[in-house]
Structure 1
Amino acid sequence: MRISRGFPLVTPLLAAVTLSSCTVVVDGAPSAGQLEQRGPKGPVPAGLERFYGQPLNWTDCPPLAYDEDSRAAYAVTGILCTRLTVPLDYAKPDGRAITIGVLRRAATGPDRVGALVMNPGGPGVSGMNTAATLGFVVKDRELGKRFDFIGFDPRGVGLSEPRVRCRNAAETDAERSAPERKEVAQVEASNKDFVARCTERSGGTEVLANIGTRDVVRDMDVLRSALGEEKLTYVGYSYGTRIGTAYAEAFPGNVRAMVLDGAVDPLADPVDASIRQARGFDDAFKTFLGWCAAREKCQVKTEPELAKLLRPLRDAPLAVGDRKLSYSDAGIAMASALYSQLSWTRLERAINELAKGDGGTLLEMADEYLGRSEQGEYRDTMAALTAVRCVDDPRTTDRAKVEENARKVAEASKDMFMADPSEPTIPTLDTCAFWPVPNTSEPHQPKVDGLPEVVVVSTTGDPATPYESGVTLAKALKARLITYVGDQHTVFLGGGNSCVDDAGSTYLIDLRAPLADIECRAG
């Protein structure tokens, strides 16, 4: 089982916006329908002046909703939405333009510091939805009073256009319910089919070539300027820390402050990162089983008991109404519950039900993680995740190297739960090996000369982005490290820990980072 790091109506593209006689220059927060001119601010790269200086047309958000998640997020009060125009290919600024969805919750107090841009990770997760929800939660805290909360949907995601699309709902359901493929040719045929559908349905190779983090950080700098910010204040979670790191490297002088929570290690190659993440989930699962063993309600208390319960799903998915629970879906469901202890009681119930032949709750949990709605439609999160990963990381196409990597993963994971030594390793070319465009970045030591002090938050029991990754990132960025002793994925603002929240908020507001690395504990 592998959980990727962090591991979404199409309308005509907006042309570049120019000022007209109806433009409203706004000093405070805009109202719906106002065309707001705040940029350009800060350095403007040559040839990109029209993008950096564009006004933003803020409108009510609900009419822009495109699925049940965005409808729920956009229903909160006090938010406005807009679309930012950027080049599809920054090497061709006079070529095709695309749009980036942006949401703002204005600062609720009189002493506004500026705009706080955030990304929740994935890749593929909507930053607009996150800013709407998290901004509402903290609107009465000092951070919500002092900052506009800004969420954007990275290119290819959510309200941004064009959106990455690969398999449709029926195709995804069929893939999920199929028995595990055991032949190299079968797996690779499925991977090739996925790539072909992504290429056709996402707008071709030019879109896929410019979908990665390299281009997202360019968009974020355009957004900084259009928002009227001389320098960027940013909070990134999970994969959002990779965006933050890449921005810090591309625009170190444009950074005001950054909190990076749930770090992606900038130095780890994809295989090592996958192994480290697998260990993180395995450790988290063992912690869950320890919790479970002490509870009377927990009926399946040991790894061997659970393995015996799950093994039949490899060959015969379990019927759940008119659908099926596969072995892969069961693994995804269990892993998704390890992101937070708040999900442990639900996982306990789901496993108890499976012991009675009922896979309904596990299938429901897998649906939630994979973005399947009750109506059977899917968010495009997983498609975007794959597209970004395939251009962010170097791919492996040499079969000898594939076999070497497979042996390395098998050896490292042989004692982990969900690893079956009796099952042979299948050394196949993965989806990215067939991707039609080259990668645009690779693991390396960030070069961030001129970067001001930033803050990294890392959680000791984080399964998805293990603690050591945060230590490595803090060292690479010469950042102050906040260690959170707990068992969850990310904690700042949404994790309920005042120690982390107070330290991070004080830094963002007053630019006063902790004087030394600090440790915060749950409770």
Structure 2
Amino acid sequence: MFTLKHLLILLPLIIISQSVHAQSGTVQWQPCTNSQFDNWFEDEPPEALLCGYVDAPLTYSVDAKADKVRLALTRLPATGVKKGSVVVISGGPGLPGINPFMSDDDIVAKLTQSYDIVGYDPRGVGQSTPKISCGVPGRERPVIDEHDISASEAQARKTLAACIKHTGLETLKHMGSDDAVNDLNVIRAALGEPVLTAVAYSYGTQIAALYAERFPQQTRALVLDGVVDLSEDDFTQQLNQARGYQQTFQRFAAFCAKHPDCPLPGDEAGAVEAFHGILRQVYATALITTDGDQVTADDVLLSTQSLLLWSDRWPELIALLHKVNAGIADEQVAGLIDENAGEEADDALSVISCADTAAPGSDTQLLRQQRQAIRAASPFTNYLKVQASGLELCDLWPVRGTLEAHVPVAAPSLPPLLLVGQRFDPTTPWVNARQMATWFKSPLITREGDGHTLVLNGIDRCVDEAVVAYLLAPREIRADKTCR
């Protein structure tokens, strides 16, 4: 996610006056049940949910043109007397954030009684406009063997050309985290909130942490769940994620071996070899579902990586591997593959990542060495031998990314944040949360278990109690806490 070869202290790239670019309390809220919002939701939205828009500048530079982005928002009003708003910052990058899910249990009800819950689609994402598009929907994209270097690189060039054609180069330049942080401040002002209260998940914690640095006096309370370490460059982040996933795969293999349908042995080397055998079998002869869709080896790998995150889904992963190993692509297999395909976020994920981290002209040999190190750190993913790495989309990006790795600096006026990390989270390793909590001089909640993001979702009562208590009274002195 970051490209700087060494760490530095990053001063705010863009300074915004406190007048920002939206007048206080200017969102024109309407019921989300109105027909104009029909395409916002797959399911019927809650009856009380309100929908609206906030306009923000495409770019916040001093000499910026008048071009705008329109951000889609939802608001679930407080059930009692309102004290403020909690903005939910989605992950990804590239995941929609309108109508965020929160548990309706008694713990979260203490928060929703007095706080509106506001969700939003980040710039370029979901119902916000202009929308990031590279032209071709996920399932219609040509299936390219990523192990064929020349074909993979050629497809990356085609994708870049399509992104520029369908989204526009000037828009692509401003789809990164730097502008998204300023959008968050515009949203705060448009909500009529003098200071921001927010809960951020995964990649969204990067936006929240940068906001805390840039706007300390406009910060009230920020919860960071599944924490991105701002000091890590893109290579370091990917390397640590690869190590984390390998550790989780090893934990899964030990669990799987105790199940009669498990096709993997309990030891790490044997589990990796057996898993590779399953993937190579599908690679040689793709499975076809009852609906006629093709299941590829990479589909199985992606679903495995997704299902590894939560130990309560490991039985489903066992069933997936058992059936795929037997050449079965039934309704359960098709459902798990589709669930984890992630097609809608593909374009936004790629574009936002490149807008953040692209370093055109980087040493190709160094890139190949780094990617080989990432592959070596996660052996279970390497079911085919790769001799070298071709250039990827961000390597071909026409402009340099605007985000640089740095050790964050907490201003004296910044109130305490609250960070949440799970001990065996492979996507955002626990050490990220520990390090960021130290730099921001803030307490850390550690959940002893597997998983990636959980706050206010009813997964762990101990965690949710601590989070709600913080959001209601963020200035109280708190110590680190462990939930088991």
Is 1:106 equivalent to 2:74 in the alignment?
A: no
Shift of 1:394: 4.1
Query: SS in structure 2 opposite 1:128?
Result: coil
1:438 alignment partner in structure 2: 400
- Please tell me the residue identity of whatever aligns with 2:58: L
Whole-angstrom CA distance in 1 between matches of 2:67 and 2:405: 29
Q: Which of these residues, 263, 276, 279, is aligned with residue 310 of structure 1?
A: 279
1:22 alignment partner in structure 2: none
1:193 alignment partner in structure 2: 158
TM-score (norm 1): 0.82
- Unaligned runs of at least 5 residues, structure 1: 6-42, 372-377
Shift of 1:139: 9.0
Query: SS in structure 1 opposite 2:232?
Result: coil
2:328 alignment partner in structure 1: 358
Whole-angstrom CA distance in 2 between matches of 1:518 and 1:46: 35
* Distance change in 2, residues 1:163/1:174 (3 Å): closer
Query: SS in structure 1 opposite 2:132?
Result: coil
- Please tell me the residue identity of whatever aligns with 1:511: P
Q: Which of these residues, 413, 417, 422, is aligned with residue 459 of structure 1?
A: 422
Structure 1 residues 26-425: aligned runs within 5 Å:
45=17, 48-49=20-21, 51-53=22-24, 55-62=26-33, 63-65=35-37, 70-72=41-43, 74-91=44-61, 92=63, 95-110=66-81, 112-130=82-100, 133-134=101-102, 141-169=109-137, 172-175=139-142, 177-178=143-144, 180-202=145-167, 204-302=168-266, 303=271, 304-321=273-290, 322-360=292-330, 361-371=332-342, 378-379=343-344, 381-395=345-359, 397-413=362-378, 416-420=379-383, 423-425=385-387
**Contact 1:394–1:441 (8 Å) recurs in 2:** no
**Contact 1:506–1:513 (8 Å) recurs in 2:** no
- Please tell me the residue identity of whatever aligns with 2:166: R
**Contact 1:482–1:520 (8 Å) recurs in 2:** yes
- Please tell me the residue identity of whatever aligns with 1:438: R
Whole-angstrom CA distance in 1 between matches of 2:106 and 2:54: 25
- Unaligned runs of at least 5 residues, structure 2: 3-14
Is 1:473 equivalent to 2:436 in the alignment?
A: yes
Whole-angstrom CA distance in 1 between matches of 2:476 and 2:323: 48
Shift of 1:518: 1.2
TM-score (norm 2): 0.89
Name whichever of 345-354 and 293-302 sits farther off: 293-302
Whole-angstrom CA distance in 2 between matches of 1:64 and 1:459: 40
Shift of 1:513: 5.0
Shift of 1:437: 2.7
- Please tell me the residue identity of whatever aligns with 1:393: T
Query: SS in structure 2 opposite 1:486?
Result: strand
1:17 alignment partner in structure 2: none
Shift of 1:46: 7.4
The C-alpha deviation readout for 1:212-251, integer Å capped at 9, x for no partner, is 1111111111111111111000110100100101111111
Percentage of matched positions with identical amino acids: 30
The C-alpha deviation readout for 1:187-206, integer Å capped at 9, x for no partner, is 2111111111111112x011
- Please tell me the residue identity of whatever aligns with 2:235: V
**Contact 2:355–2:400 (8 Å) recurs in 1:** yes
* Distance change in 2, residues 1:329/1:513 (3 Å): farther
The C-alpha deviation readout for 1:382-424, integer Å capped at 9, x for no partner, is 21111111011243632122222133324433xx31224x713
Whole-angstrom CA distance in 1 between matches of 2:54 and 2:212: 21
Whole-angstrom CA distance in 2 between matches of 1:283 and 1:406: 19
- Please tell me the residue identity of whatever aligns with 2:448: V
- Please tell me the residue identity of whatever aligns with 1:190: Q
Query: SS in structure 1 opposite 2:221?
Result: strand
The C-alpha deviation readout for 1:36-93, integer Å capped at 9, x for no partner, is xxxxxxx9727845x23462111122435565x8232x52222101010111111255
**Contact 2:107–2:468 (8 Å) recurs in 1:** no
Whole-angstrom CA distance in 2 between matches of 1:215 and 1:313: 42
Shift of 1:125: 1.2
Whole-angstrom CA distance in 2 between matches of 1:514 and 1:285: 38
Query: SS in structure 2 opposite 1:127?
Result: coil
The C-alpha deviation readout for 1:308-329, integer Å capped at 9, x for no partner, is 1211233443233422111111
**Contact 1:461–1:485 (8 Å) recurs in 2:** yes
Whole-angstrom CA distance in 1 between matches of 2:448 and 2:147: 40
Whole-angstrom CA distance in 2 between matches of 1:435 and 1:262: 28
**Contact 2:358–2:399 (8 Å) recurs in 1:** no
Whole-angstrom CA distance in 1 between matches of 2:181 and 2:472: 23
* Distance change in 2, residues 1:194/1:66 (3 Å): farther
Shift of 1:182: 3.4
Whole-angstrom CA distance in 1 between matches of 2:252 and 2:124: 35
**Contact 1:116–1:147 (8 Å) recurs in 2:** yes
* Distance change in 2, residues 1:128/1:139 (3 Å): farther
Shift of 1:279: 1.6
The C-alpha deviation readout for 1:467-487, integer Å capped at 9, x for no partner, is 111112112222211111011
Shift of 1:433: 1.1
Whole-angstrom CA distance in 1 between matches of 2:18 and 2:64: 10
**Contact 2:359–2:399 (8 Å) recurs in 1:** no
* Distance change in 2, residues 1:115/1:191 (3 Å): same
- What is the CA RMSD across the aligned residues, in angstroms? 2.5
Higher RCO structure, 1 or 2 (CA under 8 Å, sep 6+): 2
* Distance change in 2, residues 1:359/1:276 (3 Å): farther
Shift of 1:107: 0.9
Whole-angstrom CA distance in 1 between matches of 2:461 and 2:477: 14
Shift of 1:134: 1.7
